[in-house]
Amino acid sequence: MSASADHPPTAPDALEPVAGATPAAPSPTLAELQELDARWVLPTYARLPIAPVSGSGAWLRDADGRAILDALCGIAVTSLGHQHPAITAAVQEQAGRLLHGSNLTHLEGPLRLARRLAEGSLGGAVFFTNSGAEANEAAIKLARRHRRGGEIVSVHGAFHGRTYGALSATPQESKQEPFAPLVPGFRAVPPTAGALREAVTASTAAVLLEAIQGESGVHVLSDEVLRAAREACDAAGALLILDEVQTGVGRTGTLWRHQATGVVPDAMTSAKALGGGMPIGALIVGEHLRGTLQPGDHGSTFAGGPLVAAAAHAVLDVVEAPGFLERVTALGERLRTALAALDGIGEVRGAGLMIGADLEPDAAERVGGAPALVRRLALEHGLLVNATGPTTLRLLPPLTITDDELALVVDRLAAGLARGPRAA
Ligand SMILES: *Cc1c(COP(=O)(O)O)cnc(C)c1O
């Protein structure tokens, strides 16, 4: 069975309300929503002028019925598309039984999910969180428990989240500088084998890396760099921790990115796609680290509840089905080839359906930069993608996207690239 065969109809005119969903109330206009946003929400986000009210598969639909092809997935979250029937059913069923049971009790869904995640990766054990940043916080605490007072090494271009520990491992001036002082004991080096070998010493607690850097523009760390990090950590007795928050759960064509590299970390973090849209993250450790965090060392009231665990089981059922990940790999190769052939696109990077594409300088100038292009693609061409910088696009389409929809992503991007910016 092809990965898309059990997927809901995805043509824009075939959108139907999900069975059992409450009919939407009359929707406010975009201008009304923008007013609410400007008046009542702290202005940390630059939002696109679109207002989705429903979704199905690869499509979002706004209140006017306009369909937008979603090649971003809420930044790698709704990786099985919107309202995947298996996720919707699992969440509805669990919501009818028990929403929250507390980590002070035994809950079958989350406990089985822990086994499933560990068995499918590092073999040890799991700590659940509500987000990627929190999963990295847990990983940082694990590292400091492993080597008391030890340094955490990360690399330039990394993104590990916005909370203080994760931010301290995110060496980007614009994100860190306004919030100094950061957590002490963090160090950033270039993402090269030599720099990592030099940085990792007997006072290093852990090296924290994304095998593919997502937020900085989809930069793949080479197997050589990952191997050097692994060897340096082994020699120094430090932990290698991979942040698989964006790369994991099938996004890059294997369940976890590290499985395509031959490098096995001591611990890894997951979130984003794990719940298919529900907020769940996890720290997964190897067997040798199952005793590192002690009773009382860490906790979270909400984390690993039965509702989010039900969603995660449904996600894994789909991603682990025979043939699913092979199709992601094939689609990714096709999409990267098609993007690289587009007029105005320079380097194309990534693995599976995690893809970065640089605009060529003349194209960047013509369209007014990647952020302006993204805005215009959403407004005028019905395509949702993301800009990670002034000249870089990021595409994270649903892993369940159909062949026709994938071709449409390329067509719409080409149409957007072909035109100059709108008159102001
Ligand atoms: C998104 C992301 C995070 C942060 O996840 P949140 O759920 O936003 O806290 C951390 N690491 C990587 C690699 C990410 O892509």
Residue 27: its pLDDT value, please? 76
Residue 8: its pLDDT value, please? 43
Asked if residue 4 has pLDDT above 80, the reply is no
Best residue among 79, 155, 159, 302 to mutate for probing ligand 1's pocket (most ligand atoms within 8 Å of CB) is 159
| Closest-CA residue to 139 (of 279, 280, 284) | 284
Q: What are phi and psi of 298, to 5 degrees?
A: -155, 160
What is the rounded (10 degree) CA torsion for 73, 79, 82, 85?
180
Q: What are phi and psi of 189, to 5 degrees?
A: -130, 165
Query: pLDDT tens digits, residue range 174-192?
Result: 999 999 999 999 999 999 9
- What is the mean pLDDT of the segment spanning 296-306? 97
Asked if residue 271 has its Cβ within 6 Å of ligand 1, the reply is yes
Say whether 8 sits in a helix, a strand or coil: coil
Dist CA 165 CA 182 (whole Å): 8
Long-range contacts from 103-107, C-beta under 8 angstroms, 24+ separation: 103/299, 103/300, 103/301, 103/303, 103/304, 107/304, 107/305, 107/306, 107/309
26: tokens are 């009359």
Asked if residue 288 has pLDDT above 50, the reply is yes
- What is the mean pLDDT of the segment spanning 342-371? 97
Output the CA–CA distances (angstroms, integers) from residue 190 to 72, 198, 302, 332, 371, in the order listed.
Answer: 28, 11, 36, 28, 27
Asked if residue 15 has pLDDT above 60, the reply is no
Asked if residue 160 has its Cβ within 6 Å of ligand 1, the reply is yes
Asked if residue 70 has its Cβ within 6 Å of ligand 1, the reply is no
Asked if residues 288 and 237 have their Cβ atoms less than 8 Å apart, the reply is no
Question: Strands of 151-155's sheet, edge to edge?
Answer: 123-129, 281-286, 267-270, 239-243, 204-209, 151-155, 186-189
Centre of ligand 1 from the C-alpha of residue 78, in Å: 14
Q: Provide the angle, in degrees to the nearest 10, between the axes of the packed helices 403-418 and 324-340.
A: 20
Asked if residue 132 has pLDDT above 90, the reply is yes
Best residue among 160, 221, 386 to mutate for probing ligand 1's pocket (most ligand atoms within 8 Å of CB) is 160
Residue nearest to atom 5 of ligand 1 (CA): 132
Best residue among 209, 241, 246 to mutate for probing ligand 1's pocket (most ligand atoms within 8 Å of CB) is 246
Taking every pair of C-alpha atoms in the chain, what is the biggest distance, in angstroms? 62
Residue 1: its pLDDT value, please? 36
Residue nearest to atom 10 of ligand 1 (CA): 160
Say whether 145 sits in a helix, a strand or coil: helix
- What is the mean pLDDT of the segment spanning 198-205? 98
| Mean of all residue pLDDT scores within the chain | 94
